[in-house]
Amino acid sequence: MTETLGQFEQIVMTAIVALNDNAYGVTIHAKVEDLARPRKVTRGAVYATLDRMEDKGLIASWMSEPTPERGGRSRRHYRLEKSGLQALKESARTARRLIDTIAENLGGLGWKAPR
Amino acid sequence: MEGAALNTPPEKLDRIVRFLIPPAAREAVAGDLWETYQGPAQYAREAFRTVPFVVFSQMRRHFNLPALILQAMVLYACLGAWAAGVLLPLLMVAEAYQPASRPTPRRAMREAILVAFALVMFLQMVRNSYHGLSPLTVNGVWLGIGLFFVGPCLVPFLCLLRTSLIVRSDKRPTLANRDWTAEDLSRNRARFLAGLRGAQLLEAALLGAMALVSWRLPGLGAPGQMLALFYAVAALFLLLNAPAAGQAGDFLTVRAGYQRDLMRHQQMRRFLWWLWCAPALLVLHANAVQTAGSGHLADGVLRAIAALMLCFFVSALNRESAGWTQEQIGLLNRMRDRLA
């Protein structure tokens, strides 16, 4: 059975998908802030969500080589696992149904689907 | 050069921040904070906002409800409700700050000496308060002589105990190679899981037997029956949750699964070790209170020391094992796919 994702988890996973090979703490946080506008998101909340999703087996992580611009520390990179991708697709399908239903019912009132 | 120096956090501030971040997340989180450094105030503010989340996340990751209930039960039975209420949250925070590697031999020895020193102080305190209450009696003389010999013997004994645990951990196989293929990793994981399965089934049988023994253990009363229940539930859990063969996949998937297996195994072991020693702790504590209450203070004190040493042994065992697990997870993190 596919895991059900919370809204914040969906945002974080979408950020990982969008960033592809460059998904690590700093970039994921920046992308999440962009996706969650106008909501402010702390980096700590992103870390906590990443840890939780990793424990569920939805994402996997690994450490890169240390780099000097980080004071000789490694980055923890993330990517979606198969179960994570399935869960995200399922969430996207649900979101699509919601948008279609809202557009169907409110379309006549001048409502436009968000872009 | 000067510009680069200006764009790095002040050393003291960085050291404080690194100290506050739990070791399991330290490298990645401290690196991210360093990378986005704009000034000391921004750095401190960002760290202040980030660290609590990281600490809570690590507490959740290491949260082990059965082990916590067991520790609460033993603390409550031995030290009372207040001590259990104060010590349990501290234990939970300490779990979040679990080191990312095994303690060095020097550090382990230092801790053993410190514990021995604390025990000797405890003995002296008991002896002094005893003499303060009543004049030197025959029992008091024996107590004095006993304590005089027990104190100096504790240090080498605890050091020896700790050394044996270090040697045991040194002999455990580690994931030495850095470059493996997904198949190599899968094979290694399958071997690990097969070994685990056998050991788990054997332990389930032993726990079942212990459930029967604890139920009938004299002098424990209600805590003994609670323990028997714990043993029975743990045996059933081990039987029903024998690890299955790991799923196949690419290198990253196998590695992530392997890391989860290692972590789960460590969580389970931590609970089981406390479970195995719980009856001994409860019996020693009950006897210590009983004998001290009936005037045989020396016997009571020696039993209390035995209980404390048992606690030291189990925590040291857990530290070695948790350190080994974290080391393996770290090695897996840095492992590269040979074919990639």
Rounded average pLDDT over B143-170: 75
Distance from C-alpha of A59 to C-alpha of B299, rounded to nearest angstrom: 56
Q: Report pLDDT for B148.
A: 64
Three-state secondary structure call for residue B267: helix
Q: Among B128-132, B150-154, B253-257, which range has the highest average pLDDT?
A: B253-257
Three-state secondary structure call for residue B180: strand
B147 has pLDDT over 70: no
Supply the DSSP symbol for B219: T
Residue A41 lies in a domain: yes
Question: Tokens representing B275?
Answer: 């479970």
Which one of B46, B61, B252 has the shortest CB-CB distance to A51? B61
| Residue A8 contacts B where some CB pair is shorter than 8 Å | no
Q: Report pLDDT for B21.
A: 94
Distances (CA, A) of B319 to A53, A102, B272, B313, B324: 26, 55, 14, 10, 8
Q: Report pLDDT for B4.
A: 46
Distance from C-alpha of B148 to C-alpha of B125, rounded to nearest angstrom: 13
Which of A26, A29, A43, A67 has the highest number of chain B CBs within 10 A, making it the mutation to test binding with B? A43
For the segment B201-255, what is each residue's pLDDT rounded down to a tens digit?
A: 999 999 988 888 877 766 666 667 777 888 888 889 888 887 777 677 788 888 8
Rounded average pLDDT over B84-108: 83
Give the chain B residue nearest A65 (alpha carbons): B334
Distance from C-alpha of B249 to C-alpha of B230, rounded to nearest angstrom: 37
Q: Among A71-75, B66-70, B144-148, B287-291, which range has the highest average pLDDT?
A: A71-75
Residue A31 lies in a domain: yes
Contacts of B52 in chain A (CB under 8 A): 44
A72 has pLDDT over 70: yes
Which one of A43, A48, A73 has the shortest CB-CB distance to B31? A73
User: In CATH, what number is assigned to the domain containing residue A87?
Assistant: 1.10.10.10
Q: Which residues are bridge partners to A76 per DSSP?
A: A63
For the segment B283-337, what is each residue's pLDDT rounded down to a tens digit?
A: 777 777 776 666 666 667 777 778 888 888 888 888 888 888 888 888 888 777 6
Which one of B36, B50, B61 has the shortest CB-CB distance to A44? B50
Q: Report pLDDT for A17.
A: 95
Q: Report pLDDT for B136.
A: 42
Contacts of A56 in chain B (CB under 8 A): none
H helices within A20-115, ranges in order? Answer: 25-35, 43-55, 82-106
Distance from C-alpha of B91 to C-alpha of B143, rounded to nearest angstrom: 34
Distance from C-alpha of B217 to C-alpha of B227, rounded to nearest angstrom: 10
C-alpha angle B146-B150-B154 in degrees, rounded to nearest 5: 170
Give the chain B residue nearest A25 (alpha carbons): B32
**Residue B138 pLDDT level (bands cut at 50, 70, 90):** very low
Which of A70, A74, A78, A81 has the highest number of chain B CBs within 10 A, making it the mutation to test binding with B? A70
Side chain identity at residue A97, one-letter code: R
Contacts of B32 in chain A (CB under 8 A): 24-26, 29, 43, 70, 75
N-to-C CA span, chain A = 30
Q: Report pLDDT for B31.
A: 93
Q: Report pLDDT for B249.
A: 76
* Interface contact B249-A82, CB threshold 8 A: yes
Residue A36 lies in a domain: yes
Rounded average pLDDT over B249-263: 85
Contacts of B333 in chain A (CB under 8 A): 61-63
Question: Tokens representing B310?
Answer: 């048992």
Give the chain A residue nearest B32 (alpha carbons): A26
Residue A80 lies in a domain: yes
Q: Report pLDDT for B179.
A: 74
Residue A100 lies in a domain: yes
What contacts B32, CB < 8 A, 6 or more positions away?
Answer: A24, A25, A26, A29, A43, A70, A75
| Residue A48 contacts B where some CB pair is shorter than 8 Å | yes
Residue A1 lies in a domain: no
| Residue B250 contacts A where some CB pair is shorter than 8 Å | no
Side chain identity at residue B158, one-letter code: L
Contacts of A25 in chain B (CB under 8 A): 28-29, 31-32
Distance from C-alpha of B256 to C-alpha of B253, rounded to nearest angstrom: 5
Rounded average pLDDT over B112-132: 70
How many domains is chain A built from?
Answer: 1
What contacts B258, CB < 8 A, 6 or more positions away?
Answer: B185, B188, B189, B192, B246, B332
Number of A/B CB contacts below 8 angstroms equals 95
Distance from C-alpha of B291 to C-alpha of B283, rounded to nearest angstrom: 12
**Interfacial B residues in 52-111 facing A (CB < 8 Å):** 52-54, 56-58, 60-61
| Residue A30 contacts B where some CB pair is shorter than 8 Å | no
Mind telling me how many Å the CA of B296 is from chain A's nearest CA?
Answer: 52
Residue A2 lies in a domain: no
A81 backbone φψ class: left, alpha, beta (φ>0; ψ -120 to 50): beta
A109 has pLDDT over 50: yes
H helices within chain B, ranges in order? Answer: 2-6, 11-20, 23-35, 40-62, 65-79, 81-96, 105-133, 138-171, 182-216, 221-240, 251-293, 297-334
**Residue B137 pLDDT level (bands cut at 50, 70, 90):** very low
Q: Which domain holds residue A74?
A: 7-109
What ipTM score was computed for the predicted complex, to two decimals?
0.89
Contacts of A45 in chain B (CB under 8 A): 53
C-alpha angle B69-B64-B112 in degrees, rounded to nearest 5: 85
B6 has pLDDT over 60: no
Q: Report pLDDT for A18.
A: 94
